[in-house]
Structure 1
Amino acid sequence: MLNFQLSMPTRILFGRGEVEKAGAEAAKMAGKVLLVTGRTATRKTGVLQRVINSLETAGVEVVVFDKIEPNPRTHTVDEGGRIAREEGCELIIGLGGGSPMDAAKAIAAVALSGHPSHEYIAGNQTGRWRELLPVQEALPIMTIPTLAATGSEANNGGVLTHEETKEKGGFSGPALFPKVTIIDPELTFTVSPEYTADGAVDMFTHLYEAYLTGADDALVQDHLTEGLIRAAVENGPIAVQEPTHYEARAALMWASTLALIGLTGAGRGGSFPMHQMEHTLSAFYDISHGRGLAILAPAYFKRVAVDRPDRLARMGRNCFGVTELDDKVAAEKTIDAVIAWFKSMNVYLKLSDLGIEREMLATMAEESVRVGGRGQAFIPATRELDVKEVLAIYEESF
C-alpha cells in the first residue's frame, strides 16, 4: 500500500426526511444563501420549494439561481458567482445532481475571488498543460443531492465545461469540501429510469478506474471497492424497475458518496482514463456523462483484459459472479457480465445512437489526449492511451 493523506471533513446527514433539516443547518452558517439548482427538475418535483420553505422557516433569506445546465458551463458559473457576490450571500447550496453541486462549488470560489471560473479548470487552448493552484478560498458550501451518481456531495472537486475551447476539465481545492451534505434517498424517487441507470454507471466507473489501473497491494481498498461495486450492480436494476424502492435508492446514494470520498483510492494511486475520454464526448455533444461511460466501457475493458487480466478477472469473480479459474477467460467473461448489467438497465448503446458523428471522432481523440494527458502525449491507464488508441476506442464504440 502506498503512503497517503486523507481528509473527509464534510458532515453527513443521511436518511428519510433529512431534507427538512436544510434550513436549520444553513442557519448555523448564514443569514442569506444562494440556492443553486438546475433549470426544471427540482422545481417540477417540488424539492426546490421544500428546501426554500425549510430555509425561510429557519429565517434564512434565499436567492434562487436555477440556470445550471447538464455539464455546467463556465459562463453560467460566472453569472452565479456575480449574483452571489452582489446579493451578499454567505452560503452556497447545491441542490440536484452532479452538475448543480459542481457548479455550486465553483460559484463559491468565484463569488469570493472574482476570477473567471475557467481559470480554475485544468488545461488550455494552446495545447500546453496548465495545472492550476488548488482553490484555497471559497464561501461555505452545502450540498443536497437528488441523484446517486457523481459523489460530488462530500468531496472537494468538480467538473466544468468551457464552451469557447470545448474543454471539460476538473477543479479542486481544500476550500471546496462542503461543510455539510444532506443525503435523503427519498429525493431520488422521481429520478427517471434513464438517469438512475446513468448514475449507477458513473459510480461504477469511479470505482473500477483506480481499481484496474492502480497498485494491486491495497487490500483493504480492494475489499471496499468490490463491496461498493456489488452495491451498484445489485441495486441499480432494482431502482430502475422500482423507482420508490427505498433500500435500493439508499444503497445507491451511500455507494455513490463513498465511491468518490477518497477511501477507495487512498494508498492505491491509479488514473481515470474513462472519465478523461468521456469528458471530451460530453464537452462536444452534451450527452449524459453516465451514458457515455457505459458506451466506452466494453472497448476499454478489452484492453484491460490484455494488460491486466488478473485484475479484471478479480473484479468479475468478486462483483459479477464470474466463476472461471483462468484469468484470461475470466476477464473476457467479466466483459460479458458488465454488458449484461448494462442491458438490464437499458444503457448498452453505441455512440452513433446519441447523434455523435463519425467524422468528429479523430478531433475528439486529439482533444481527449490534449486535456486528459496532462502535458503528456497519452492518457495513463493500463497502457498509454495515445491519440491512435483513444480513436480506436471511439471507433469500436461507434
Structure 2
Amino acid sequence: MSFQMYVPTKILFGEGQLENLHTQQLPGKKALVVISNGKSTKENGSLAATEEQLKKAGVETVLFDKIMANPLKSTVMEGAACAKENGCDFIVALGGGSVMDASKAIAAMATNDGDLWDYISGGTGKGSPLVNELLSIIAITTTAGTGSEVDQWGVISNEETNEKIGFGGYDSLFPKIAVVDPALMKSVPPKFTAYQGFDALFHSVECYISAAANLMGDMYALTAIENIGAYLPRAVQSGEDLEAREHVAFANTLSGVVMTVSACTSEHSMEHAMSAYHHELPHGAGLIMISKAYFTYFIEKHACDERFVRMAQALGKKDTKDPMDFIAALSELQEQCGVDGLKMSDYGIQPEEFMTLAQNARATMGGLFACDRAPLSDEDCAAIFKKAYC
C-alpha cells in the first residue's frame, strides 16, 4: 500500500486554457520555444497563439523547430546550443511527447557540459549526475499520448548506438506549468490520435499490473483506462469532438501522473528497442503491435489475474471474471480505432531481429523488467515478438 508521490506541476486543464498562460508566473524572460520539424503547430495557429501569450507576459522568444518523432541526441545537443547562444532562461515545449521529452534533455544540456549520453544511465551511457541547475520548462501538449507534461522523464534515441533510453528522474525536470487544452488537439489525424491514445492506455495498464503498483497509482490508472476505453474511438472518428478529446486528454494526463507513483513494465523497454532500430515507427504503433502477445504472456503465467479482470471491466466488460477478457476488450478497442491491422513488417522489422531487439531492450532499459510480476527472459521477449509478428 505504501507509495511516494511528488507531482509539483501546475496543470491548466480544459478548452481555452492556453489563453490563460500569460496570467501565470513564468520562470524567465526569454524562452526557447521548442516544436517539431513538421508543419502542424505553425499551420493550426498554436505556435502563433503561444508566442502571443508569451509576448503578453513580456517574454522574448527564440524558435527551435527541429524535433522529430523519435527525438535524437544530436538534435537535443543542437537545441541546447541554440538556447545557450541566445541566452534563453527557460524552455517552452509546444507539441507532443517527442517535443516535451526532447525539451527536458535540452533544459539539462543548456546548462551542463559534455554530451547528453554522459548523463544517461543504461546502455552505453556514463551515468554521471547533472551538476548545474537546469532550465525550467513550460509544457503545452498538443497531443494526448505520453503524459510527459506532468512527469520528470523523457526518452531520447542515440542514432550512433541504436539505443533509445529514458533520461531524467530529477525533480527540476517536472514542468513548472502544463497546459492541457484539448482545442490544440483537434487537428491530430485519426491514426495518430489512436497511436497516442494507446500509448497513454498502456502507461496506465503497465503501471496497474506493475510490481510497483499501489493504491494511489491504481486510482489514476483505472480512471485513465475507463476514459480511454469510452472516448478514444470517438476522438479517432471525429477530431472535432471536443468532449471526446477532453476525456482522452484527461486520461493521458492521469497516465503521466501514474508513472510518477508507480512504474511501467518491460513492454515499454521492448518497444523502445523496436523504434531505436526503426526510427520511423511511431511509439504508440509499436506498443499496439506487441500488446496482445505481451499481456497474454502474463495472463498465461497468472501473474495478477484479478488485475486483468478489473481492467477488462474498466474497458466495458462489466461482469467478467476471466482475465483473457482483457485481451478481448483490447482487441475490440483496437478494431474500433482502426489500428488492429498494424504490421511490424511494414516498418522494416524482420524476424531475424527478434533476439537483437530483446537484448537491446534489457541492455538499455532493463530496470523496467524488474517491475514485471513474472520473469521475462530474452528468449521470452523474442517469442513475444514472434507471436506478434506479421
TM-score, normalised on structure 2?
0.92
1:38 correspondence with 2:41: no
Task: Specify which of 274, 277, 280 is matched with residue 270 of structure 2.
Answer: 277
Summarize the alignment of residues 228-307 of structure 1 with structure 2, pairs less than 5 Å apart.
Answer: 228-262=224-258, 266=261, 269=262, 271-286=264-279, 287-307=281-301
Task: Specify which of 209, 224, 229 is matched with residue 212 of structure 1.
Answer: 209
Match of 1:155 in 2: 151
Summarize the alignment of residues 314-325 of structure 1 with structure 2, pairs less than 5 Å apart.
Answer: 314-321=310-317, 323-325=319-321
Q: Which amino acid aligns with 2:380?
A: E
Match of 1:347 in 2: 339
Match of 1:146 in 2: 142
Closer, same or farther in 2 for the Cα pair 1:76/1:265, shift >3 Å? Answer: closer
CA–CA separation in structure 1 for the residues paired with 2:23 and 2:128: 36
CA–CA separation in structure 1 for the residues paired with 2:244 and 2:7: 25
Closer, same or farther in 2 for the Cα pair 1:290/1:358, shift >3 Å? Answer: same
CA–CA separation in structure 2 for the residues paired with 1:232 and 1:373: 28
Deviation at 1:5, TM superposition (A): 2.1
Deviation at 1:301, TM superposition (A): 1.4
Q: Which amino acid aligns with 2:292?
A: P
Q: Which amino acid aligns with 2:187?
A: T
Task: Specify which of 302, 308, 331 is matched with residue 323 of structure 2.
Answer: 331
Corresponding pairs, count: 383
Identity across matched positions, percent = 36
Match of 1:179 in 2: 176
Match of 1:395 in 2: 386
Q: Which amino acid aligns with 2:344?
A: L
Match of 2:71 in 1: 72
Q: Which runs of 5+ in 1 are unaligned?
A: none
Deviation at 1:344, TM superposition (A): 0.8
1:360 correspondence with 2:353: yes
- Asked if the contact 1:322/1:334 (under 8 Å) is kept, the reply is no
SS at match of 1:7: coil
Q: Choose 116-125 or 4-13, whichever is displaced more.
A: 116-125
Q: Which amino acid aligns with 2:299?
A: A
Summarize the alignment of residues 36-185 of structure 1 with structure 2, pairs less than 5 Å apart.
Answer: 36-40=34-38, 41-125=40-124, 133=129, 137-172=133-168, 173-185=170-182
CA–CA separation in structure 2 for the residues paired with 1:237 and 1:318: 15
Deviation at 1:136, TM superposition (A): 6.9
CA–CA separation in structure 2 for the residues paired with 1:56 and 1:215: 43
Q: Which runs of 5+ in 2 are unaligned?
A: none
- Asked if the contact 1:120/1:135 (under 8 Å) is kept, the reply is no
Closer, same or farther in 2 for the Cα pair 1:270/1:87, shift >3 Å? Answer: closer
Deviation at 1:362, TM superposition (A): 2.2
Cα root mean square deviation, aligned = 2.1
1:29 correspondence with 2:21: no
CA–CA separation in structure 1 for the residues paired with 2:212 and 2:343: 31
The one-character-per-residue Cα deviations of 1:121-159 (angstroms, maximum 9, x if unpaired) are: 22133xxx8655478721111010000010001111111
Closer, same or farther in 2 for the Cα pair 1:165/1:271, shift >3 Å? Answer: same
Q: Which amino acid aligns with 1:288?
A: P
TM-score, normalised on structure 1?
0.90
Deviation at 1:322, TM superposition (A): 5.0
Q: Choose 223-232 or 194-203, whichever is displaced more.
A: 223-232
Match of 1:386 in 2: 377
SS at match of 2:179: strand
- Asked if the contact 1:81/1:107 (under 8 Å) is kept, the reply is yes
CA–CA separation in structure 2 for the residues paired with 1:135 and 1:278: 31
Closer, same or farther in 2 for the Cα pair 1:243/1:271, shift >3 Å? Answer: closer
CA–CA separation in structure 1 for the residues paired with 2:131 and 2:209: 29
CA–CA separation in structure 2 for the residues paired with 1:231 and 1:47: 26
Q: Choose 98-107 or 316-325, whichever is displaced more.
A: 316-325
Q: Which amino acid aligns with 2:154?
A: G
Closer, same or farther in 2 for the Cα pair 1:24/1:87, shift >3 Å? Answer: farther
Closer, same or farther in 2 for the Cα pair 1:257/1:316, shift >3 Å? Answer: same
CA–CA separation in structure 1 for the residues paired with 2:348 and 2:295: 24
Deviation at 1:355, TM superposition (A): 2.7
CA–CA separation in structure 2 for the residues paired with 1:145 and 1:215: 27
SS at match of 1:169: strand
Deviation at 1:271, TM superposition (A): 4.4
Closer, same or farther in 2 for the Cα pair 1:19/1:223, shift >3 Å? Answer: closer
SS at match of 1:93: strand
- Asked if the contact 2:71/2:157 (under 8 Å) is kept, the reply is yes
Deviation at 1:206, TM superposition (A): 0.6
Q: Choose 48-57 or 103-112, whichever is displaced more.
A: 48-57
Q: Which amino acid aligns with 2:251?
A: A
